[in-house]
């Protein structure tokens, strides 16, 4: 595990009316680390991640990236600092092809006959998509012009990840990434995650599947009832211990 600290969240609290979703949570993420974030429903995982991505403002607490305190008031602020999230639905447009999804809202344009009018640069978008998939993720899709809904689950995950890394992501959050994948798609996803780790991208993987968490993560953080109750190096722990922390074992904090 690499020891360079990339993210530090200190004393994060968040309430929704009378419900305290997070209670003075501390959270750390190292550069190039794959961290499994686990806990039962309502443990506070989604709230913590939405604070890190700028979707929610914390009631209390501080966030540091690369040692510098940051203030995220909206997701665009987090994106500028290299924080991106891929949610369970991948946020892909099923009827668009891979380039259309990768450049959605940021389409490449080219001048037409040297005048001010510009056309969509389909060729450039196709070339850049193929380049990112191959060079950054080691993935090749034979026909990028097909709508993404006909691609495999693993290929769709690859396109969503390619869109994130093309935006210069340093911190990638993956919410239940294996839930809709078969064995082959899951193996492809884990290969993509390992590839990103080699490039020093830090990944937070949220999952209820501890088998997958243990297969891919370097460290596991457990939340319960809005508090951090466990922080374990994966290779030094086991599923029984993590389940014990999730359902109500001894609090280590």
pLDDT digits (tens, 9 = 90+) for 172-182: 999 988 887 88
Looking at residue 112, what is its pLDDT?
A: 67
Looking at residue 243, what is its pLDDT?
A: 96
Question: What span, in angstroms and rounded, lies between the C-alpha atoms of 145 and 126?
Answer: 8
Question: What span, in angstroms and rounded, lies between the C-alpha atoms of 98 and 125?
Answer: 9
> Residue ranges of the chain with pLDDT lower than 70?
1-2, 112-117, 249-253
Distant-in-sequence contacts of 73-76, Cβ < 8 A, 24+ apart: none
Nearest CA among 25, 26, 19 for reference residue 42 = 19
Span 102-155, pLDDT tens digits:
898 888 887 766 656 678 888 999 999 999 888 888 888 989 999 999 998 888
pTM for this entry: 0.85
Looking at residue 249, what is its pLDDT?
A: 58
Beta strand pairing call for 60-65 and 115-120: unpaired
The answer to whether 51 touches 57, Cβ cutoff 8 Å, is: yes
Average pLDDT, the chain: 90
Looking at residue 2, what is its pLDDT?
A: 45
The answer to whether 126 touches 57, Cβ cutoff 8 Å, is: no
The answer to whether 208 touches 246, Cβ cutoff 8 Å, is: no
Looking at residue 1, what is its pLDDT?
A: 44
Domains of the chain, first to last: 1-82+170-253 (3.40.50.300), 89-168 (no CATH)
């Amino acid at each position: 595990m690499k020891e360079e600290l990339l993210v530090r969240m200190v004393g994060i609290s968040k309430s929704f009316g009378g419900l305290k979703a997070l209670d003075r949570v501390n959270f750390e993420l190292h550069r190039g680390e794959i961290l499994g974030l686990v806990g039962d429903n309502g443990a506070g995982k989604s709230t913590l991640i939405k604070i890190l991505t700028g979707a929610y403002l914390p009631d209390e607490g501080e966030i540091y990236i690369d040692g510098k305190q940051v203030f995220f008031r909206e997701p665009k602020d987090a994106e500028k600092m290299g924080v991106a999230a891929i949610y369970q639905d991948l946020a892909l447009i099923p009827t668009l092809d891979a380039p259309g999804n990768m450049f959605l809202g940021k389409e490449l344009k080219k001048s037409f006959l040297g005048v001010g009018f510009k056309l969509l640069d389909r060729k450039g978008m196709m070339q850049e998509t193929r380049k990112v998939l191959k060079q950054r993720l080691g993935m090749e899709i034979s026909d990028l012009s097909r709508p993404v809904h006909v691609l495999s689950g693993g290929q769709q995950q690859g396109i969503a990840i390619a869109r994130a890394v093309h935006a210069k992501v340093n911190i990638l959050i993956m919410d239940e990434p294996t839930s809709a994948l078969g064995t082959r798609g899951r193996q492809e996803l884990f290969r993509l995650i390992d590839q990103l780790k080699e490039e020093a991208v830090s990944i937070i993987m949220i999952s209820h599947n501890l088998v997958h968490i243990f297969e891919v993560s370097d460290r596991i953080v457990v939340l319960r009832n809005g508090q951090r109750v466990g922080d374990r190096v994966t290779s030094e722990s086991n599923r029984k211990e993590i389940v014990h922390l999730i359902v109500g074992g001894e609090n280590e904090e």
